[in-house]
Amino acid sequence: MSTDVVRSSAARDNERAEPARNPPAEPAAPASATASAPPDLNDPNLYLNRELSQLQFNIRVLDQALDESKPILERLKFLLIFSSNLDEFFEIRVAGLKSQIAFDHEIVGSDGVSPRKALAEISEITHKQIERQYAILNDRILPELARNGIRIVRRNEWSHKQKLWVRRYFRNEVAPLVTPIGLDPTHPFPLLVNKSLNFIVQLEGTDAFGRDSGLAIVPAPRVLPRLIRLPDEVSEGGENFVLLSSIIHAHAEELFPGMSVRGCYQFRLTRNADLTIDPEDVEDLARALRGELYSRRFGDAVRLEVADNCPAELTDYLLRQFGLAAAEMYEVNGPVNLARLFGLINKTDRPELQYPTFTPSIPKALKKAEDLFQVIGRQDVLLLHPYESFAPVVDLLHQAAKDPSVLAIKQTLYRSGANSEIVDALVDAARAGKEVTVVIELRARFDEESNLSLASRLQQAGAMVIYGVVGVKTHAKLMLIQRREGEELVRYAHLGTGNYHTGNARLYTDYSLLTSDQALCEDVHKLFSQLTGMGKLLQMKKLLHAPFTLKKTLLELIARETAHAAAGKPAQIIFKINAVTDAKMIRALYKASMAGVKIDLIVRGMCCLRPGVPGVSHNIRVRSIVGRFLEHSRVYCFANNGEEQFYLASADLMERNLDRRVETGFPIEGKKLQARLKKELEMYLCDNASAWLLQPDGRYVRTKPAASQPARNVQVQLLEKLCGSGANEA
C-alpha cells in the first residue's frame, strides 16, 4: 500500500470522526503559528500537559464500555480498567503533583501548566468522568448483564431465602473477622490502608462503658472477597452475586449490639503509593526496598471516594481527618472499589459474553523445529505477540537449560510475574551448573515485592543476581545464551519490546526478535558487561542503548529525514510508541514537520506533542489505538531516502526512558522482515474502527468508516492474518 493512500485514508477518517466526550477546554492558538518570524519551538502553547494527556487516555478506555459491538463482559472490563488506571494515576501522578506543592518545589514543564493548575483541571475532568462511569455501570452495563442472567443483587432486592443465606454468611464468615472501631479519646481515627474498603457509621445510644461518641469506623476485612456468588438454591435463576459492602451494610447493627445505627456509608481512601528510596543513600537496596513497601500502604492521602448518600457533616469530617479539600472528594453512586468487580468476570463461566478465544500461531520455521538453535542460527525470527505465541521464547530458554552445550545464560527481568515459566527455566539452568546471570530491576513499580521474591529464588538456585545500576532503572528486555558448537562459542539472543511475562504476552502487543547475528549478540554481551561490571562506555555496532546512544541516534535520524525533506527528497517518519513527552524529541519532530517530513505517530497513551498546528506540526498526525489488546510495541521507522531503517525498542519518547533508564533499540534488517514491519504499520494507519485522532486543541476524536468503506480494525485484521480468527470481533 502506498504512503499516499495511507495518508489520504487517515485524512478522510479525521474529517468523519466524532468528537470525544468531555474534551478539555480549547487552548489559545500558539503565538508561533501566527507570527511571521520563525516559530518559537519553546512556546508553551505547542505542548500538551502530560498528566492531562494521560487522563485523556483513561477516558478513551472508559469510552470502550459504551461500545455495544463489544461483548458485555468485555465492556465491563474496560469500565473496570478505567478504575484501576485511575487508581494508579492518583497514587503516582496526582500524588507527585501534590508533593511538589507541599515541598514548595513546583516544576513547570514545557506546556507551562503549573502543578496547581494541573490539579484543578484534573479534578474538574475526573469528577465528570467518575459520574459518567457510574452512570454507564448503572444504566448500561448492569441492566445488560441482568438480561444475560448475571445480576449483582442489591440489598433491597434480596428475597427471603437470600436474606437468610446472607445473614448466615455474615455471621459465619464476616463478623468474626470484622473489627469495628468506636471513635473516642482512647480510640482515635484509625490509620487506614491505601484503597481499603471502610464504613463510617453513625450511632445512637450509650455502650456498656458509658461511651456515646456517635461515630465508628468499620474496616472491611481485606482477606474476604468483595463479590460473593449466591448458591444456586437461593439464586432464583441465573448467576447472582452480592457485594461484601452490601452484606456489612445490611448487618451493621449486629456489630454494635444495643446501639442504634442511624447511618452506614462506605468510603475508600487513595494514598501516595510512590516509593521514596534514594538508591545512593542505602547500602542494601533489597533490604531498604522491603522496608519501604510497607510504608506504601500508608502514604499521604490524595483522594477520598464516598457513597453519594453520605451526609455532608460526615464527608466534611472525613476530609478533615485526611487533610483533603472538597475538590479531592468523589461521591459515587455504587461500590467505591469498582476494580474488585473483576471477580464477577472470573467467577462467571460465560464465554459467549467475552471475546472469542484464539490460539496464537507459531511461525512455520519454528512449528516443527526440534532444535531452536538450529533455526535461529539460519535466520532471524520476528514474533508479534499476542497474535504469535510467546512460547518459542520460553522454549528456547528451557532448551538452553537442558542443553549440555549451553555454558551461560544472561537475562534481564523487569516484570515477569510471581509464577514465571521464565524463572523456572533459569532456576533449572542454574541447578544444572550453567553460568546464569540475571539482572533484576527491583524498582519496577508495583512489582517490587514479586521481584524481591524472584531474586531470592534465583539466588538459592545458584544464579548470580544483579540489581542493575544505582539510580538508573534497567528496563531493557534482553536474553543472551552462549553455546559451545565445535571449537566455537556461539551466541544467541532474544530482544523484545515487552516484558518476560507470559500473561502479558497474551494481552499486550509486543515484538520479539530471536537472532544469532554476531554483531548484535556481541553488543548484547557488552551491555550485560556494563550492567554487571564497571568500566568505560563500550562501543556498540548495532545496538542503541539509553542513557547513552539511543536518544542521540534517534535525534540524528530525525535530523537526517529533516535534511532530506529540505533537499526536496522524499522523507517520512512513522513511530509506534506508548508515550511522547520528551520536549527535545518533540522539538526535533516539529523541525522535521516544518521542513516537510511526513510524520505519523501511533501513540497509545500520553502525547505532549500538539499536531496539526499551521506552520509547525501541520505534517504530523497522531493516532491512538484502543482495543482488545494493550498496544505496547515500540517501532521506529525512517524512510532514509528509499533505504528504510527500522528499529524496535524497549523505550518510549519519554525523559525517563531516554535519560534515566537502561533501554535498548535494535535494528530489524533484511528486506523480508522490514517489509513485514512496514505492512503492519500501514495497517495501524488505516484503522478506521478503533483509532482516535489527536486534534490541535488536545481533543481526541474517534474515527469511523464512511458508508462506502469497510470497517478496518487493525487488531481484528492481525488476528485474522496471523491466527486465522477474530473475523467476528468489532
* Cα separation, 601 vs 635, whole angstroms: 10
Residue 500 or residue 714, greater confidence: 714
Q: Is residue 111 part of a domain?
A: no
Residue 499 or residue 139, greater confidence: 139
Contacts of 490 (CB under 8 A, 6+ apart): 377, 482, 483, 484, 516
Phi, psi of 383 (to 5 degrees): -120, 140
pLDDT of residue 467: 84
Q: Is residue 66 part of a domain?
A: no
653 vs 410, 412, 510, 703, 706, CA distance in Å?
A: 27, 21, 17, 25, 33
The pLDDT of residue 289 is above 90: no
Asked which of 288-297, 305-314, 428-437 is least confident by mean pLDDT, the reply is 288-297
Q: Is residue 78 part of a domain?
A: no
Dump pLDDT digits (tens) for 65-112: 999 999 999 999 999 999 999 999 999 899 999 989 988 888 999 999
Asked which of 211-220, 226-235, 353-362, 660-669 is least confident by mean pLDDT, the reply is 211-220
Q: Residues 483, 609: one domain? A: no
Enclosing domain of residue 484: 364-539
Last residue within a domain, chosen from 539, 562, 592: 539
Q: Residues 520, 564: one domain? A: no
**C-alpha 439: how far from chain center:** 22
Q: Is residue 245 part of a domain?
A: yes
Q: Residues 620, 671: one domain? A: yes
Cell numbers representing residue 648 in the block: 524496535
Contacts of 342 (CB under 8 A, 6+ apart): 77, 80
Asked which of 216-230, 279-293, 308-322 is least confident by mean pLDDT, the reply is 279-293
Instruction: Label residue 266 by pLDDT band (50, 70, 90).
Output: very high
The pLDDT of residue 419 is above 80: no
Q: 3-class DSSP state for residue 238? A: coil
* Cα separation, 309 vs 99, whole angstroms: 31
Last residue within a domain, chosen from 539, 558, 576: 539
Q: Is residue 355 part of a domain?
A: no
Residue 138 or residue 34, greater confidence: 138
Q: Residues 42, 154: one domain? A: no
For the chain, the 3-state helix, strand and coil shares in percent, each to the nearest 5, are 40, 20, 35
The pLDDT of residue 33 is above 80: no
What's the whole-number mean pLDDT along residues 4-27? 39
Contacts of 43 (CB under 8 A, 6+ apart): 30, 31, 32
Domain count, the chain: 3
What sign does the dihedral 194-199-204-208 (CA atoms) show?
A: negative
pLDDT of residue 729: 40
Contacts of 209 (CB under 8 A, 6+ apart): none
Cell numbers representing residue 224 in the block: 474476604
Cell numbers representing residue 107 in the block: 516544576
Return binding residues: 85, 415, 445, 508, 604, 632
What's the whole-number mean pLDDT along residues 284-289? 50
Q: Residues 482, 516: one domain? A: yes
What's the whole-number mean pLDDT along residues 708-725? 92
Return binding residues for ATP: 85, 508, 604, 632
* Helix or strand run (H / E) with residue 638: strand 635-638
Contact criterion met (CB below 8 Å) for 407 and 437: no
Q: Residues 369, 309: one domain? A: no
What's the whole-number mean pLDDT along residues 475-481? 95
The pLDDT of residue 409 is above 80: yes
Q: Residues 567, 533: one domain? A: no
Residue 13 or residue 318, greater confidence: 318
What's the whole-number mean pLDDT along residues 259-283? 77
Q: Residues 455, 497: one domain? A: yes
190 vs 181, 217, 245, 254, CA distance in Å?
A: 8, 8, 19, 21
SS (H, E, C) 88-155: HHHHHHHHHHHHHHHCCCCCCCCCCCCHHHHHHHHHHHHHHHHHHHHHHHHHHHHHHHHHCCEEECCH
pLDDT of residue 360: 96
* Cα separation, 537 vs 647, whole angstroms: 22
Cell numbers representing residue 526 in the block: 557488552
SS (H, E, C) 370-382: CCHHHHHHHCCEE
Domain of residue 383, CATH code: 3.30.870.10
Cell numbers representing residue 70 in the block: 463489544
Instruction: Centre a 10 Å sphere on the Cβ of residue 547 and count the other Cβ atoms it contains.
Output: 18
Q: Residues 158, 302: one domain? A: yes
Contacts of 356 (CB under 8 A, 6+ apart): 725, 726, 728, 729
Q: Residues 238, 313: one domain? A: yes
**C-alpha 390: how far from chain center:** 19
The pLDDT of residue 222 is above 70: yes
Q: What angle do CA 98, 129, 657 make, to 5 degrees?
A: 50
Instruction: Label residue 440 by pLDDT band (50, 70, 90).
Output: confident
Contact criterion met (CB below 8 Å) for 51 and 122: yes
DSSP 426-452: HHHHHHTT-EEEEEE-TTSTT-HHHHH
Asked which of 293-307, 558-572, 641-655 is least confident by mean pLDDT, the reply is 293-307
Instruction: Label residue 175 by pLDDT band (50, 70, 90).
Output: very high
Contacts of 682 (CB under 8 A, 6+ apart): 1, 6
Say what angle helices 285-296 and 448-461 make with each other, to 10 degrees. 150
Say what angle helices 115-136 and 95-102 make with each other, to 10 degrees. 150
Q: 3-class DSSP state for residue 385? A: strand
Q: Residues 559, 496: one domain? A: no
* Helix or strand run (H / E) with residue 584: helix 583-595
* Helix or strand run (H / E) with residue 57: helix 50-63
pTM: 0.90
Q: 3-class DSSP state for residue 283? A: coil
Q: Residues 492, 374: one domain? A: yes
One-letter amino acid of 239: E
Q: Is residue 62 part of a domain?
A: no
Contact criterion met (CB below 8 Å) for 260 and 271: no
Write down the residue that cell numbers 483541571 correspond to. 121
699 vs 369, 454, 458, 569, 621, CA distance in Å?
A: 49, 43, 47, 33, 13
pLDDT of residue 553: 98
The pLDDT of residue 325 is above 50: yes
Q: Rounded to 10 degrees, what is the CA torsion of 653, 657, 658, 661?
A: -170
Q: What angle do CA 541, 405, 423 make, to 5 degrees?
A: 75
What does DSSP say about strands 227-229 and 239-243: parallel, antiparallel, or unpaired? antiparallel
DSSP 490-553: EEEEEEESS-S-TTGGGTEEEEEEEE--HHHHHHHHHHHHHHHS--SPPP-SS-EEETTTHHHH
Q: 3-class DSSP state for residue 307? A: strand
Last residue within a domain, chosen from 314, 347, 380: 347
pLDDT of residue 451: 67
Return binding residues for Mg(2+): 415, 445
Q: Is residue 99 part of a domain?
A: no
| Residues acting as catalytic residues | 475
Q: Is residue 132 part of a domain?
A: no
* Cα separation, 270 vs 305, whole angstroms: 8
- The burial of 622, by beta-carbon neighbours within 10 Å (0-12 exposed, 13-18 middle, 19 or more buried), is given as buried
Instruction: Label residue 644 by pLDDT band (50, 70, 90).
Output: very high
Contact criterion met (CB below 8 Å) for 32 and 41: yes
